[in-house]
Amino acid sequence: MNHFFISLLVLALFFSCAAPKSDNLCDAENSRFIPNLLIRFLAKDNSYQCGYKINSNPPACDLSYEETHYDANWPSIQKEMESQFALGSGPTESLVQYRPELVSTVLGISPSYPAFQGALNAPNGSIYFPPYYSPKILEVNTYSKTYSSFGTFSGSVELIGGALGPAGVLYFAPHLVSNFYAFDTNKSALSIVGNETLASAAYNGAIYAPNGKIYFVPSSETIIRYYDTYSKTIGQVATPTSGGFSTGVLTPQGKIYFIPFVSTQMYILDTKDDSITIHPYPFPGGNSYISGILTPNGRIYMIPHSVPEILYLDITTNAIETAASIPSPSTGMFNGAVLAPNGKIYPIPEGYGNFISFDTKDHTIKTLFPRPAGSYRSGALGPEGEIYLAPHTADRFDLIQTGSLGRFCPSLRLSPYWNKL
């Protein structure tokens, strides 16, 4: 195919030697009009020229992860995800202990300490667990199942979650510290990119937005802060929030929906202009919702922490509906959730006695197997559809084999839509 276009390009360049009939490069009469279009096509240039994109809607798996959250690419993302969902899954899921060591032995901490909260994919094929009480960042290679550790932390809940930003850099959300940390997975190098005076228990997780900013999700803070990866500075959104949130969900329209935890209101940040709106739905507060998952049908599913109902928000109509109720609900049930290539959401059990799955196709809940001793907080999807669990008080290295017959390519597993806490 490229040989054909190269021949055309050579022919076009031959004719371009003639004097142009127009000085306007967007005028088809200009002799450089066709050669320029062909060059941009072959170079896979996705930028606009003359009001058009030459290479619009490339396949999702041809995109870099940094391109997946641009609104123009959402149709390709939807198509690829739905094609994987359609493959379904095998008959059963299972819990696998993929390393025999104890977490406490690997980290050199007391077994009573809660180790991690959150898990993030990186372009090098590894998953990183941000420290909670852990004194180190832990890396697990998803192919070899080997591990490494990095950094030195105090073991006093410095961080909760974070997000993968551009160029393989992880940005961690400060919780009980004033430093904003970044970890370059290419160099295994930890750095401080900013320092601010923050409220105690400041942020829960982060979101990498299409404007190049890493937005931090307010916990006890009222200010939404961000790190601008272009200017390398910390900034803040003018409008304050009220209450506390567990995570944020980015949509193709460039909006971040903050999932209410303590707050009784859902705040919505438009990252195109940093404006804030509030959804009219009355949330119960009281540690209600712990996670939010975007699905290709344009819904945000909200996973409960201490209320029975799984809710979903339709981003087209803005309506919020009840999808299902958790069997035998209690308080402190889940912490985090992961979307698998079989179309199911797997809530990560904190205090809930069992692992369950929630099928986004028909809203059915299936009880899978008992949770071992201890708790988990969030997880990350591996290349074979498996979910690596972030051990909190569970003193084990575990993953869920989801039995998914489909697979998410690296572009999707690394996408800012899902690779965050």
| Domain shared by 20 and 111, yes or no | no
Co-location of 277 and 372 in the same domain: yes
3-state secondary structure the chain: CHHHHHHHHHHHHHHCCCCCCCCCCCCCCCCCHHHHHHHHHHCCCCCEECCEECCCCCCHHHCCHHHCCCHHHHHHHHHHHHHHHCCCECCCCEEEEEECCCHHHHHCCCCCCCCECCCEECCCCEEEECECCCCCEEEEECCCCCEEEECCCCCCCCEEEEEECHHHEEEEEECCCCEEEEEECCCCEEEEEEECCCCCCCEEEEEECCCCEEEEEECCCCCCEEEECCCCEEEECCCCCCCCEEEEEECCCCEEEEEECCCCCCEEEECCCCEEEECCCCCCCCCCEEEEEEECCCEEEEEECCCCEEEEEECCCCCEEEEEECCCCCCCCEEEEEECCCCEEEEEECCCCEEEEEECCCCCEEEEEECCCCCEEEEEECCCCEEEEEECCCCCEEEEECCECCCCCHHHHCCCCCCEC
Angle formed by the axes of helices 33-42 and 2-15, nearest 10°: 150
| Token pair for 153 | 């932390």
Residue 138 counted as domain residue:
yes
**420 in any annotated domain:** no
The better pLDDT of the pair 249, 243 is held by 249
pLDDT in tens, 202-216: 999 999 999 999 999
* Same domain assignment for residues 238 and 359: yes
Q: Are 335 and 350 in contact (CB under 8 A)?
A: yes
CA distances from 229 to 171, 187, 411, 413 (A): 10, 18, 20, 21
150 located within any domain:
yes
CB 332 within 8 A of CB 305: yes
- Confidence band (pLDDT; 50, 70, 90) for 236? very high
For 321-379, the pLDDT digits (tens) are 999 999 999 999 999 999 999 999 999 999 999 999 999 999 999 999 999 999 999 99
Look at strands 299-304 and 309-314 and give their pairing.
antiparallel
Q: Are residues 39 and 98 located together in one domain of the fold? A: no
Please indicate, yes or no, if residue 421 is contained in any of the structural domains.
Answer: no
Do residues 261 and 379 both lie within one domain? yes
Tabulate helix, strand, coil % of the chain (nearest 5): 15, 40, 50
Residues 33 and 173 in one domain: no
Both 148 and 225 in one domain: the answer is yes
**Looking at the domain assignment, is residue 194 inside a domain?**
yes
Q: State the pLDDT at residue 91.
A: 83
Confidence of residue 16 (pLDDT cuts 50, 70, 90): low
pLDDT-derived band at 156 (thresholds 50, 70, 90) equals confident
Is the pLDDT at 245 greater than 60? The verdict is: yes
Domain count, the chain: 2
Say if 331 falls within a structural domain: yes
Average the pLDDT over 165-173 and give the result: 98
Are 147 and 286 within one domain?
yes
**pLDDT score, position 251:** 98
Range scoring the smallest mean pLDDT among 10-24, 54-68, 127-141, 313-327: 10-24
Looking at the predicted structure, is the pLDDT value of residue 395 above 60? yes
- pTM, two decimals, is 0.88
Token code pair at residue 286: 């009281």
Question: What is the predicted pLDDT for the residue at 15?
Answer: 47
Q: How far apart are CA 183 and CA 151, in angstroms?
A: 9
Gyration radius of the chain over CA positions: 23
- Based on the fold, state whether residues 34 and 174 are members of the same structural domain: no
Tell me if 114 is assigned to some domain: yes
Sign of CA dihedral 235, 239, 243, 248: negative
Residue 112 burial (CB count, 10 A): 9
Distance CA 173, CA 133 (A): 14
**Mean pLDDT of the 280-288 span:** 97
CATH number reported for the structural domain that contains residue 205 in this entry: 2.130.10.10
Question: Quick one: average pLDDT of 126-146?
Answer: 97
Q: Calculate the average pLDDT of the chain.
A: 91
The CA distance from 178 to 278, in Å, is: 28
Of 34 and 86, the one with more pLDDT? 86
Q: Region 237-250: what's the mean pLDDT?
A: 97
pLDDT greater than 60 at residue 6: no
Together in a domain, 38 and 118: no
Segment 292-325, tens digit of pLDDT: 999 999 999 999 999 999 999 999 999 999 999 9
Tokens encoding 90: 């095998």
Q: Are residue 145 and residue 294 in the same domain, yes or no?
A: yes
pLDDT for res 155:
76
Helix (H, G, I), strand (E, B) or coil at 414: coil
- Name which of 231, 221, 227, 307 is nearest 258 in CA terms: 221
159 secondary structure, DSSP code: E
Q: How confident is the model at residue 275 (pLDDT cuts 50, 70, 90)?
A: very high
Find out whether 335 and 378 touch, Cβ atoms under 8 Å. yes
pLDDT tens-digit profile of 29-41?
A: 677 766 665 665 5
Report the SS3 class of residue 412: helix
Domain with 29 in it:
1-56
85 inside domain: no
Do 272 and 397 reside in the same domain of the chain? Answer: yes
User: Residue 397: is its pLDDT beyond 80?
Assistant: yes
Find residue 127's DSSP bridge partners.
121, 140
Nearest Cα to Cα of residue 64 among 166, 182, 132: 166
Whether the predicted pLDDT of 290 surpasses 60: yes
What is the residue type of 252? P
48 pLDDT exceeds 50? no
